Amino acid sequence: MFSRMLSLVANMSRQFRFAVVLATSIGVACGSVRAQEPKLDYFRIGTGSPAGTYFPVGELLGGIISLPPGAAKCEPGGHCGVPGLIAVAQDSPGSVANVADVAGGRYDSALVQADVVHAAFYGENLFATHGGFPDLRVIANLYTETMHLVARKGANIASVGDLKGKRVSVDTPQSGTHRNAFLILEAFGIERTQISLSEVNFEQASDQLLAGKLDAFFLMTGFPASGISALMASDTVVIVPIKGKVADTLRREHPYFLTSAIPANTYANLDEVTSLGVGAQWVVRGDQSEQRVHDIARALWHPTARETLDAGHPRAHEISVETALHGVSIPLHAGALRFYLEAGILE
């Protein structure tokens, strides 16, 4: 059964890099397959760069909600996913692209920054020309992402203000980092014309920084991010704080910004760094089946999922039903809403 299932997945479109999350926390039944197996149901989760946090967290979520035919069901020693569901985590350019791809049906769901979710639903900022995506819905708030301002040692960058006259990447326009980076630069009085602007993804920015072709880059991601871990281990870069009165004013003007500290030793050669953060939220289209999304929410918050979350990426430790509704500024999906009402989380 599983070899046939993996063959089906292997023949899916190759235009995306993906990871099929079948093994994570799934106990495979050794006995015979039940007479009536649920129909296979593939569920694609748009994430981000494999060097960031969305991708590994997406894999964890996929493992939790998947329950392929033949796997032990929700019983002692079993798995409490959605019967027949196989979740596929796919990498992507980031939050902005994820919203468009969920709306367009390329993904069934995606991880998106809270500020991007709000702007997309209400048609604000970079989504103003689209008229918004009013069919966007939330399953849950997950964890806090933190802005990493990474600078090359020797570039004499100790604060945001030091970026004037430097070569700086703000990530691609399809990412959530892009808009946040410009908000930060503007708040600190730095205009686009005062930096040598680059709009490349993390992998390209990292390579250019190491080659001496870039002085700094922004990346909004949960910590620790594997790509930044590799950079910090090289002892050739520093993470620059984003703090002070300007940062406080920015948080007041844009309430989705949070104060977020990267603890000492999160990365090699790092003392604690204060920065800004935003929530990461799991979104779907409103036309997704109410029962399907209800079952996904039930699987996500089932007690058996805790072990998988705690054994995975460090940011997954933050994923908790107690904070599932924090910072949610658009409607919940009807299936998620039903789950939270049934569970007594909403009244």
Query: What pLDDT was estimated at residue 126?
Result: 83
Write the CB contacts of 218 (distance below 8 Å, at least 6 apart in sequence).
Answer: 147, 148, 149, 150, 168, 169, 170, 171, 177, 180, 181, 184
Q: What is the C-alpha to C-alpha distance for residues 209 and 328, in angstroms, rounded to an integer?
A: 36
Query: What pLDDT was estimated at residue 45?
Result: 99
Is there a single domain that holds both residue 120 and residue 238?
Answer: no
According to DSSP, the residues that pair with 172 across neighbouring strands are none
Is there a single domain that holds both residue 129 and residue 165?
Answer: no
Query: What pLDDT was estimated at residue 125?
Result: 87
The answer to the question of residue 33 being in a domain is yes
User: What separation in angstroms does the CA of 102 have from each of 12, 124, 169, 283?
Assistant: 18, 18, 26, 8
Q: What is the C-alpha to C-alpha distance for residues 25 and 116, in angstroms, rounded to an integer?
A: 31
Is there a single domain that holds both residue 95 and residue 10?
Answer: yes
Three-state DSSP class for 294? Answer: helix
Q: DSSP per residue over 81-127, as a string?
A: SEETEEEEEE--S-HHHHHHHHHTTS-SEEEEEHHHHHHHHHT-GGG
Q: DSSP per residue over 26-52, as a string?
A: -PBP-SPPPSSPPPPEEEEEE---TTS
Q: What is the C-alpha to C-alpha distance for residues 97 and 190, in angstroms, rounded to an integer?
A: 26
User: What separation in angstroms does the CA of 214 have from each of 165, 251, 346?
Assistant: 12, 28, 48
The answer to the question of residue 288 being in a domain is yes
For residue 54, give its domain range.
Answer: 2-143+280-342
- Supply the pTM of this predicted model: 0.81
Q: What is the largest CA-CA distance in the chain?
A: 68
Is there a single domain that holds both residue 60 and residue 74?
Answer: yes
Report the chain (347 residues): mean pLDDT per 10 consecutive residues.
36 38 38 57 96 95 94 71 96 95 97 95 90 96 97 97 98 93 97 97 96 98 94 96 97 90 96 97 98 98 94 94 93 98 94
Q: What is the C-alpha to C-alpha distance for residues 336 and 315, in angstroms, rounded to an integer?
A: 22
H/E run at residue 18: strand 18-20
Query: What pLDDT was estimated at residue 4?
Result: 37
Last residue of a domain, which of 278, 299, 314? Answer: 278
Write the CB contacts of 255 (distance below 8 Å, at least 6 apart in sequence).
Answer: none
Is there a single domain that holds both residue 161 and residue 62?
Answer: no
Query: What pLDDT was estimated at residue 77?
Result: 59
The answer to the question of residue 61 being in a domain is yes
Q: Respond yes or no on whether the N-terminal peptide bond of residue 224 is cis (omega within 30° of 0).
A: yes
The answer to the question of residue 83 being in a domain is yes
- Tokens 């299932």 correspond to 5
